[in-house]
Chain A
């Protein structure tokens, strides 16, 4: 493909990519997206060399008046959009950008037009970055980067080619040039793609390294919050049913410490309710307390001053990415002990629900450590349980007129010997005698519980849970209703639970005085369709990519940068430790002996170890002092660049002067090097030949045109070594 054609094609592709970003961000209305898309297709075909389009475009683009009118029209549309239609600067600006893009695509003639197109494209990709945090941005961004590199490269090369053509036509220009191949060659193709790969790698490196100093004061919200039900102060029976078929994702939950096994059901607790009025559930107390901030931005859910209760429990750590919901509730496995995230305040209610002060305006990420209580063995078999008054007061309340339900509860539990057996029998009764169905229209009924238990005998989680709580309470067992999510969709690619709106659930918490609140679920398990088809697997894979995108890019923060630094440091510590182990295994006998000596020294005197260390340091210093001449000689001959033999010989000669001076023969300032050599021969005869030799090489290096070789320098070094030995042995 010729360069010019490739250049036009990549330019239009760049614009198309940026436009796709805007369309995917749902910021371009259909009436505008359609004509722009048509213009883009025409431009692509035109750039691709479709002949009839080329002629037609040439005719259209020859009318400047038309384009002036179009530009004025675009401004008018912007004003109308801003004042009447959108009434907001961002959408109106984006619409204007798209109109400009369309106009510019139709008027692409000069290089200036291409530059304008690039600016518009950059603005468009910037706008789509501002409007979304979705994972589709990844391919759009990558495509944009690819086309940007191609376009910039071709822009430069085509400009050079045109400059040369222009220079060649000028009279009197005689230039000798080698020309670039004017077509995209195989080598050029791979070279450019290599540059793209290099750019991508650098982009990622810079992205992760660039300091996050932004405070996000003007950070946008990520659009409309997901509407949830069942997490307000009052929940009408049957409201959860409205979302039970909604597949919208509400959160993703990772369990960093857990293996994949046994993760078929995972309860994410939201709120608990203790008051039932026959149609709806509510809280009896609305007091919220702010959680204490412990170290590292972690909030401690336990009240200040309290001690952890000694109960059998399982610790579960969860990393949760919560979508923008219309509730301020923070979901976690029961019961949260530690909460950490980028929050300023976290609150807790009396029934262990945790909240933010306000619903978050964007996706949030937080980590929770929960302690899931286990029922003690003695409470399984205890015939009676002594409940505290506060528990009895709050959690044994039943509305008036539920005698029929109470009769049923007593009938079901008449053969039970212990409260735990009563609980199990009620749960079993509900599991076995009622059918799960989302088609139950009991929300509008005056007595939904009785309808469920005695008439329709079909319902969903809220009915089951309400029935169990009420039945337990009528037999004197404290219980409460809990709403939250029951996660069942495990993503094996990303190792996390995907939680959707349809996973909204209600269950029961039963109180045992020593074990605490134990989770029980009377709702029959619905046989979830196992995702085995290729599309579902792909969808899970895509979902996993989305999570990684969100974690690594959208929510990458200064804290993560610090974590990476810590990780690297820990990694290097681990490597060092491993190396240390290896070295120690090699020198085990030596190190053992050394350890024994150290222990002996420590046993003998606490300062002995310091003394030994000090002695070693002093000894090493003395050795270095004694060998300083040798070291200096070695440094002069080995460390000085080979291209500077003159400097080396001067340093060596200076060293020789020092050695001779130490013996008492000092060089008079007026004496030349040769005169001094003769003087040495007179006063220190043994050193005469060595000094004469060094002086000869010195004279050669300083004053002769014949360059010094490495052999000369080596010879001088050798002579100096001998001179040193002589100086030491001399009296």
Chain B
């Protein structure tokens, strides 16, 4: 943790210094020792100011607590804990400023008094406006203590990164329903309501007694219940094409937001979902952890210019097949080169730029 100091006069400090200078001149000119005494008093106030402000900024420890992932345009709470490692003296009038990607940002964080060997937890809201990483370089702590003559700053380098996912927007329910009902959604071999046998396991308190598999129970002399395989879940693969020229950047971003929102909706409905973005493949899965993993992929995906020659990268991952059978595939193509390839992605349904414009115009 590196510490650097800078000092700046306040307007009061500048005046004070001018008066000190004036008294110094008077003392030198007249040789009057009482003027020297007053000069010494003013100089000592400056020195004491420097010593105490340094004392306030020394032996402080900062820790930043950030969430793993936050949504763009959704306020999130960040926390900074400040500890005063001084043994005897408190620190006064501390003001903290965030250093975000080299820029100092005032979040209105202030501690008037921090007793020795104690900590304070300061929280503040953060609104990520665009997806991707936010880099926090450190914290600048400043104080005017004790006399407000100088503003002394100390910089504590604590580098932290925060990932911002694309925002989640409401989608038309009809579109999502259509999507789910369309195509070849296949039953996933997982527990659920159904008639096919999925598994046999030992009876647990609370299990339905009608599910007891009596044959096995009789054979093993242990209560064994029968689990069935769920039949109504459809597997959906969402492929996002990241190839788009610079002028399509707004639509690309809206497409990313659309994909994030769609994944959110599908996860809410407990569908097994797979996301393919460029070379990134989330794999098939469901639940909030899987959603977070997919949102992380979306947070970091970058548009690629058509000139870079990486068209159709998603084909490397065989998106159309997976264990358990073929999934329903939805391709999101914000831009397609009409001259060379009409449908760059092999999918059950492809949403092109015009449809995406229509679906995301309200984002």
| Chain A interfacial positions (CB closer than 8 Å to B) | 115, 119, 122, 125-126, 129-130, 132-133, 137, 141, 145, 148-149, 152-153, 155-157, 159-160, 164, 167, 173-181, 195, 198-200, 202-207, 210, 212-220, 553-556
Contacts and interface: CB of A to CB of B under 8 A. Distances in A.
Interface stretch (B120-128, B239-247, B320-328, B333-341): B120-128
A314 B26 CA distance: 46
Contacts, number: 149
B19 interface: yes
Given A156-B147, A176-B109, A177-B109, A218 B30 contact: yes
B144 A156 contact: yes
Given A152-B45, A175-B124, A553 B110 contact: no
B47 interface: yes
A174 B111 CA distance: 14
Contacts of B35: 126, 129-130
Contacts of A126: 23, 26, 35, 38
Q: Which 7 residue pairs across A and B have the least CB separation, nearest first?
A: A216-B31, A175-B108, A180-B112, A202-B44, A214-B31, A156-B148, A129-B34
A126 B40 CA distance: 13
Chain B CB within 10 Å, residue with most, of A122, A152, A180, A556: A152
Given A132-B34, A155-B148, A175-B109, 8 more contacts: A126-B35, A130-B34, A141-B38, A156-B93, A156-B147, A175-B108, A202-B44, A553-B34
Given A126-B23, A148-B45, A195-B52, A212 B124 contact: no
Interface of B: 12, 15, 19, 23, 26-41, 43-45, 47-48, 51-52, 92-93, 107-114, 120, 122-125, 144-149
Contact of B33 (A148, A173, A218, A555): A555
A176 B31 contact: no
B40 A207 contact: yes
B37 A203 contact: yes
Chain B CB within 10 Å, residue with most, of A133, A145, A202, A556: A202
Contacts of A132: 34
Contacts of A175: 107-110, 124
Contacts of B123: 176
10 contacts: A153-B146, A173-B108, A174-B125, A177-B110, A180-B92, A200-B44, A207-B40, A214-B27, A215-B31, A555-B33
A195 B26 CA distance: 27
A217 B110 CA distance: 51
Chain A CB within 10 Å, residue with most, of B34, B52, B145: B34
A20 to B, nearest CB: 15
A505 B110 CA distance: 73
Contacts of B31: 212, 214-217, 219
A156 B146 contact: yes
A207 B148 contact: no
A198 B45 CA distance: 9
Contacts of B30: 130, 214, 216-220
Nearest to B51: A198
B37 A141 contact: yes
Contact of A203 (B26, B44, B52): B44
Contacts of A553: 33-34, 37
Contacts of B27: 214
Contacts of A206: 39-40, 43-44, 47
A214 B40 contact: no
Contacts of A141: 34, 37-38, 41
Contacts of B38: 125-126, 129, 141
A625 to B, nearest CB: 41
